[in-house]
Chain A
């Protein structure tokens, strides 16, 4: 029996979940959408962010959101270094599509195994005063472990949108995959632009990882579930449109929340992948993309 109360709670839970998904998909939207770099290792960097938050939270009791923000520069450097390797090995020789894909696949595997070797396959979690508390508005229940990540993710997405539309470098990133030559004529080095963009993309994984471990306990292979989900979001959002990505993330979050509420949580993972397959088969340019 579907009551209005249950229905509205599922919507609100989906909105919060979707907001968080936006944080995970944001980095991929930049790499896959803007740079044509198929970074399937992105969710693994998110898990890396979760483990950084776990270590510092358990040892020093620092707030996970704060850790996520503070470690962004470190992740930024990982991203720029990664681009150097990628550029020298694949992009310069024109083999980026398939060899590059296999490269990120291998990278994902390496990070995952190193995490397993270091931390084992146990689920890890963080502690903060607000985790476990719930905000009640009327009959709506909003657990803070969902609400805080959703708000933080929305702020991060907003900040990236502002950067992309207001600054010269942001506009250059938006332009780099469209017209390299025109970009060079504007006095911007495409390689430098792409390096900074990949840096920003990986930096978002730092905060996204911290948010993930607030929502749920994390073990090294959790990231795999996010591959289909975030690719679905990015493709659905129209490849590289960041506001489109945000809307698509909310959409997937709400659909998953409904499936979990009315059919059981074990079916929820199939939602992202199912939507991805349908999108790819029917409308590969996404809902918000141009044909």
Chain B
């Protein structure tokens, strides 16, 4: 049996990641890669709905923050271990995604996009008024003691994020290459026509919104332990929502590896800019790159490469 190239590279990445935790001794690397990987999960999750079915979600930060505050609330109330918190965040945000999926029954196109943005802001107001998790002032979260087989907690979080990022990518790859993916693409191109041809549009949309919500929640769940201080401003940060859209748009939304390329590229640029120039400027870079790519290269980097190959093929042939 031939070993799938994808799973082979997954194995290599995970082993390399583990070796990295044992070799690198500067914690800064783990902080940086954690942020990039978090962006990657968000981008891949966004693309499952936005790229595959064409429903734009502006409220990514809302899903992320619900994951964050699930951890904060459950950790404060019961002191549950991290895997349980991840699961809880996944379930709660998956249900939220499911609700968003039913919303698509009534709201198409721009109305859906605006509704997601509005939902995120309603959730932010609720958290702002929820005293138990710190309200608008925020709250401190202690990192749990013990870091499994790792030297310190940040290495554990880094490895966790790496596993989650790989899992998110695998899910997205599965969804796009299976029959589900074909159905989602049919919805993107023409929902009414797809419905008429017998594509179960509602069920497919519910699958993709639930997967998106759950992945975004899981991406947010470890965040309180990563930053150790959480307030609504950082959990609902607009930059999270903008990144979740910009990364797939820059990489290319039509294929599963588009958001991965976009996330790695944009994440690397942002982290470099934050260190070398300033953190405000890196926000500007995201905005400018997003607008440039949408206006000049709507199919993203993947589209640019495809066009280039086609041109080259035409010249040779």
Contact = CB atoms under 8 A, between A and B. Distances in A.
Q: Do A and B come from one complex?
A: yes
Interface of A: 38, 40, 85, 89-90, 95, 97-99, 101-103, 105-107, 109-110, 112-114, 116-117, 221, 224-225, 227-228, 231-232, 266-267, 269-270, 273-274, 276-277, 280-281, 284
A269 B119 CA distance: 12
A98 B280 contact: no
Nearest to B54: A98
B288 interface: yes
Q: Pick from A89, A109, A221 the residue with the most CB of B within 10 Å.
A: A109
Contact of B284 (A89, A105, A110): A110
13 contacts: A40-B117, A89-B295, A97-B109, A98-B109, A106-B288, A107-B287, A110-B288, A113-B280, A267-B125, A273-B121, A276-B114, A276-B115, A281-B107
A273 B123 CA distance: 10
A110 B291 contact: yes
A116 B245 CA distance: 21
Given A110-B284, A273-B125, A281-B103, A99 B298 contact: yes
Interface of B: 54, 56, 58, 103, 106-107, 109-111, 113-115, 117-119, 121-122, 125-126, 128-129, 136, 238, 242, 245-246, 249, 280-281, 283-284, 286-288, 290-291, 294-296, 298
Q: Pick from A40, A97, A98, A269 the residue with the most CB of B within 10 Å.
A: A98
Given A89-B295, A113-B283, A114-B284, A227 B121 contact: yes
B109 to A, nearest CB: 5
A36 to B, nearest CB: 9
A224 B239 CA distance: 13
Q: Is the interface of A mostly helix, strand, loop or mixed?
A: helix
A117 B284 contact: yes
A109 B126 contact: no
Given A103-B294, A110-B291, A97 B118 contact: no
B26 to A, nearest CB: 29
A89 B294 CA distance: 8
A269 B125 contact: yes
Contacts of A281: 103, 106-107
B122 A106 contact: no
Contacts of B126: 270
A106 B56 CA distance: 14
A89 B291 CA distance: 11
A277 B56 contact: no
Contact of B287 (A113, A267, A269): A113
Given A40-B114, A98-B54, A98-B109, A266 B298 contact: no
A273 B129 CA distance: 16
A99 B109 CA distance: 11
Given A38-B110, A40-B117, A276-B115, 12 more contacts: A89-B295, A89-B296, A90-B295, A97-B109, A98-B109, A224-B121, A227-B121, A228-B118, A231-B114, A232-B118, A266-B129, A270-B126
Contact of B238 (A224, A269, A274): A224
Contact of A280 (B56, B107, B295, B296): B107
B295 A109 contact: no
B56 A266 contact: no
A40 B286 CA distance: 18
Nearest to A109: B287
Given A38-B110, A109-B290, A228 B121 contact: yes
